[in-house]
Copies of this chain bind each other. A is one copy, B any other.
């Protein structure tokens, strides 16, 4: 699994756990909604400082965003689901 996908799935997972829309989270974290969308889909290549800001907005450590197991599980559970 590509590292960008790991981050993308984990971000989507953590955001949904908090019942935020992309738009709400974008406002909260100070990013553009389209940029957040791109990270969740794994098409962006964010820098480590961007990840740190995102992690802070989610109130987790950066490592949580890179968790391969949780990313995999969430990706699997999300198959065929609407966004």
Contacts and interface: CB of A to CB of B under 8 A. Distances in A.
Contact of A3 (B3, B7, B45, B49): B49
Question: In terms of DSSP, what is the predominant structure of the interface of chain A?
Answer: helix
Interface residues of A, number: 16
A52 interface: yes
A7 B4 CA distance: 18
A46 interface: yes
Contacts of A4: 48-49
B61 A63 contact: no
A63 to B, nearest CB: 5
A62 interface: yes
A54 B19 CA distance: 35
